[in-house]
Amino acid sequence: MRIFIEPNDVLMFRDGRPFSGGDDHFARGSCPPPPSTIYGALRSHILSSVWSEFDSFGNHNEKIPEYVCREIGTPYKTGTLILKQFLLAKVGKAGVEPIYPMPKDISWQKGKSKKNMFLPSVRDFNETDIKTDIPKGLLHLWYSMEDALEQSSGFLYGSDMEQYLLGKPPQNFINQKDIFDYEERTGIRKSKLTRSVKESGLYSVEYFRFKKNFGFIADINGIQSLPEKGIIRLGGDHRSARYFETSWNDIPVEPIRKIVNENKRFKLILLTPSIFKNGWLPCGINPQTMSGQIRGVDVKLVGACLGRPIGIGGFDLAQKMPKIMKRAVPSGSVYFFEIRKNNVDKIFENAWLNSISDERVQEGFGISLIGGY
C-alpha cells in the first residue's frame, strides 16, 4: 500500500538532542524526520481506528483484535508492518512525485552559481601523489578538476536522481525553502499543582510549515487494516496530517543495472538514516580489509562520503518512557563498492529499495538505492 501524507498545519519533529527547557531552552527540529516517526504514527493510527481503548495497549489487553496485534505487534516487538519507502514528495496534476535526499558526493563551486553540480572522479591511491596514514591499496581517493568545491545541499526530483544514479551530475535541485519553512514558537511551562508558571520554564520549539502540495510518501507492506484514507497524528505536540492511498513511478532499474554490470562497481545511497553496529561501517564489512558482504554479495568498500551522525531516539507511548538513543548514518550518505564476484543481479535484488541497516529494518531505516560510477 502506498500513501501520500499531507500536513494539516505545522509539524514538529524533534532531533535527537536532549531538551529540558531552562538553560537549553531551544528544542531543535529535524525534517524530514526519521522513518520511525511515520512507522509509529501508522501503528498508533491502525490501533486507534479499530480499538477505542487506545491507552490499554501497553497493558496487554486481551480484547485487542488478534489480527491488529499481528500487524502492529506489541509494545515489546514489531508485527508484520514493514515500511519500504519514506520520502518527501509533491502532489500535482501529473500525480505524486517523490523527492530524494541530495547525495553527499555531489559538489558545486564555492561562492558561485549553484546550477553547476559535479561528481568526484575515482583515482587509485598513489603514495607519490599524497601521503596519508591509510594503508596503500585499501581506499581510493576522489578528486575534481574544479577548484574550491563545497558539498551541495537540497533535494532532487526523480529525473535528476536518475541522472545521478547513471553516473552523471544532476542538472537541477530543490531548495529546502521551496518545500517547507521553519517556524519558531515560544512558550513557558506551567505547574499542574499551582497553575502558575515554572521558574526557568521558558522554551522555544522549532516547527515545520510545508508549502502547498508538499508532504511525504510511504510504501507500506504487511498490513490490511489501514484505511485507504484518514487523519493521523504525526510528530510532537498532537499535530495532524491527512493521508490517502496513491501511486508513483519508481526510478527505472535496468539502465543503472547495465552500467554496474559493465564497470563491476556500484555505490549505495541511503534514502533514510541507517543504524550500523560498527558505527559508520556496515556490519558485513571487515574494518581491516574493507572487504566483506553487503546483503549477501561479496564486495570491497573503496570509499565513502558520509554526513555527520545523527541521534535516533523518541518516546515510547505504550511504555511511557524515552527510547534508547542510537547513532545513525544520515540519509544522503554514499558508499562506494567494487563487486568481487559477478553478482550484479543479486545486489539489485537485495539492496535496491531495501534496507542495509543492521537494526530496525522494519521501521524503514537504511533504505538504499544503487548507482553507477
Dihedral in degrees, nearest 10, Cα atoms 218, 216, 243, 34: 70
Tally of CB atoms within 10 A around 26? 14
Cis omega (within 30 of 0) on the bond before 32?
Answer: yes
Say which CATH number the domain at 352 has. Answer: 2.60.40.4350
Specify if 273 maps to a domain. Answer: yes
Tens digits of residue pLDDT in 308-356: 999 887 777 667 777 788 899 999 999 999 998 778 899 999 999 999 9
Domain identity same for 105 and 88 = no
> How many domains, in total, are found in the chain?
3
Domain identity same for 237 and 301 = no
Domain identity same for 161 and 306 = no
State the pLDDT at residue 58. Answer: 60
C-alpha cell read off for 300: 570491497
- Give the structural domain span for 107: 101-165
- Please tell me which residue, 210 or 76, carries the higher pLDDT value: 210
CA-CA distance, 109 to 114, in Å (whole number)? Answer: 7
Tens digits of residue pLDDT in 280-321: 999 889 988 889 998 888 999 988 899 999 988 777 766 777
Domain identity same for 65 and 189 = yes
CB 329 within 8 A of CB 269: no
CA-CA distance, 305 to 103, in Å (whole number)? Answer: 9
Domain identity same for 214 and 319 = no
Tens digits of residue pLDDT in 188-229: 766 667 777 666 667 678 889 999 999 999 999 998 888 899
Q: Residue 312: helix, strand or coil by DSSP?
A: strand
Q: Residue 239 class from Cβ within 10 Å (0-12 exposed, 13-18 middle, 19+ buried)?
A: middle
Domain identity same for 123 and 64 = no
Domain identity same for 34 and 22 = yes
DSSP 11-52: B--B-SS---BTTB-EE-B-SSPPHHHHHHHHHHHHHHHH-S
